[in-house]
Structure 1
Amino acid sequence: MVSRQAGQVLADNLRALRELSGLSLSELARRSGIAKGTLSQLESGTGNPTIETVFSLSNALGVPVSGLLTAPAESEVVLVRGAEVEVLSGTAVDLRMVRRLDLADTVVEVYDQRIRPGETQYSPGHTGREHVLVTEGVLRVGPPTEPYEVGPGDYVCFPAAGPHVYSALDGPVTSILLLEYPATGDRPAIGVHGD
C-alpha cells in the first residue's frame, strides 16, 4: 500500500505530466489501458497504484517511472533510509525506488527489488534496458520463452522493450534493479527529478 505522502507525489507528478503532454483523462486512460475513474483517484491522491499501473502510465506518458514517483530534491546530499521508501507491489515483485540518476543522455533508476516465491511477475515491455544483480536467492528473469537463471552475485542485462518475467526459484529473491532509459529532451522537468 502506498502512503498518503507518496500518493500525493504520484498525484502531483501525474497531473503535471498529463497536463504538460496536453492529454485529457480520457486520452490518458485510452493510451494506458487504465480506467478513467482510477486515473482520477490517482490524480487526487486517493488511489493505490500497482507496479503494472505505474509502468502503464510511464509508457503512456513517455517518461521514466521515477518521473511519476519522485519528488524534487531539496538538498545536494542524498540519504535514503530503506524503512522510509515506499513499496510498490505487483503480482510477485516488491520494488522500492532508491534513486534516480539523470546522466547526459540517460536516466537510470535504482531499485531495491524483492521477488516473492510462488508467483510470476509479467511485464509486457517498456522503454529501455533492465540490469539485475541478484544478492540473495535464485531468480528466473528475461523473455518468457528463454529466461535466464541467476543466483547471488550474478548480473544480467536485457532490452526491456519485449515481454519479460520475474520469478523466484526455491524461496525469496533479493536483487538490485537498474532501469536505464534514454533521456529525452522534451521530457517535462516539473516534479520529475529525484536528484
Structure 2
Amino acid sequence: MGASGESVREVLAGNLRRARLELGLSLSELSRRSKIGKATLSQLEAGAGNPTIETVFSLSRALEVPISGLLDRRDRSGPTVVRAAEADVLRGEGAELRPLRGIAAGGALVEVYDQRFRPGRRQDSPGHPGTEHTIVQAGRLAVRVDGRDVELGPGDYIGFDARLPHSYAALDGTVRSVLLLQYGAGQRPHAAPAEPPHRGGMP
C-alpha cells in the first residue's frame, strides 16, 4: 500500500466495486451483509464519503476479502516507499490506522499498518480472522484480549488470535505502534466465529 497517486478513497472505491461484482452482490445485498447503508456504499464506490476503520473492517467481513484486498493498489513495480506525511489515514473511535503494505508469501498474507491511539478513548473489536501483532513504539498501551488485561510500553510486543474480542486504550497520552495482521493460507474474513456484540470494529 502507499500514498502516492490515488487516495485511499479512490483505491477503496475501485476495489470495493470489483469485489462486490465478483461475488455477484447488489448494493442492497452488500448493505444487508455489512450493516452499512446503501447510500453510504454508493458514495464509497463513487470515491466519496469518509471511510472509517469500522466501515472498512465491516466490508472486509461482508465481502470475504482481507483488508488489503480493499486498500491495496494494484500493478505496483519497483520499491514501495510510503512517506509518513503522505500516508492515508483511517480513523476509528479511538485509533488511527495508516495502511502501509500487504505482503503475500506462500499463500499467506501479512498486512502492515502504522497505528496510533488517542488518549481518553477505547478502540473495541468483536474479533476478526487472523493473528494480530502489535509493537509499541512510544507511549503506554492498555490491551484487553478476551477479558485479560495487559499493559505495554515502548518496545513491548503482543500477539494473539484476532478472533477473540479485544480492545486498546492509550494511557498517558498518544500511543504510536506498528500493527501486523497475519492471515494463514486460505484464511478468509468470514471464518471468524460469531462473537457477542461489541462496539466498534477495529482490528
Q: TM-score, normalised by structure 1?
A: 0.89
Displacement of 1:142: 3.3
Q: In the aligned structure 2, how far is the partner of 1:43 from the partner of 1:184? A: 27
Residue 144 of structure 1: how far off its partner (Å)? 5.5
Aligned to 1:162: 164
Q: Is the 8 A contact 1:54 1:65 kept in 2?
A: yes
Alignment partner, residue 84 of structure 1: 86
**Count of matched residue pairs:** 185
Listed one character per residue, the Cα deviations across residues 74-123 of structure 1 (whole Å, up to 9, x for unaligned) are 31311111111101010110110111101113110101100010000011
Identity %: 55
Shift of 1:23: 1.2
- Aligned CA distance change for structure 1 residues 40 and 151 (closer, same or farther; 3 Å): same
Unaligned runs of 5+ in 1: 188-195
* Contact 2:146–2:166 (CA under 8 A) maintained in structure 1: yes
- The alignment's C-alpha RMSD in Å is 1.9
- Contact 1:4 1:45 survives alignment (8 Å): no
> Does the residue aligned with 2:183 lie in a helix, a strand or coil?
strand
Which one of 106, 109, 119 corresponds to residue 107 of structure 1?
Answer: 109
Alpha-carbon offset, residue 4 of structure 1: 7.3
Pairing partner for 1:96 from 95, 98, 108: 98
SS of the equivalent of 1:133 reads strand
The residue type equivalent to 1:127 in the other structure is P
Q: Does 1:30 align with 2:23?
A: no
- CA–CA separation in structure 2 for the residues paired with 1:98 and 1:186: 20
Q: Aligned partners of 2:165 and 2:51: how far apart in 1? A: 21
Residue aligning to 1:190? none
Match of 2:42 among 40, 61, 76: 40
Q: 1:1-195 maps to which residues of 2 (within 5 A)? A: 5-143=7-145, 145-184=147-186
Distance 1:75 1:58, change over 3 A: same
- TM-score (structure 2 length as normaliser): 0.86
Instruction: Please state how far the C-alpha of 1:185 moved relative to its aligned partner.
Output: 8.9
SS at match of 1:142: strand
Distance across 1 between alignment mates of 2:53 and 2:146 = 18
Displacement of 1:73 after TM fit? 3.7
Q: Higher mean Cα deviation, 40-49 or 74-83?
A: 74-83
Does the 8 Å contact 2:97/2:113 carry over to 1?
yes
**SS at 2:182 equivalent:** strand
Structure 1 residues 63 and 42, CA gap change in structure 2 (3 angstroms): same
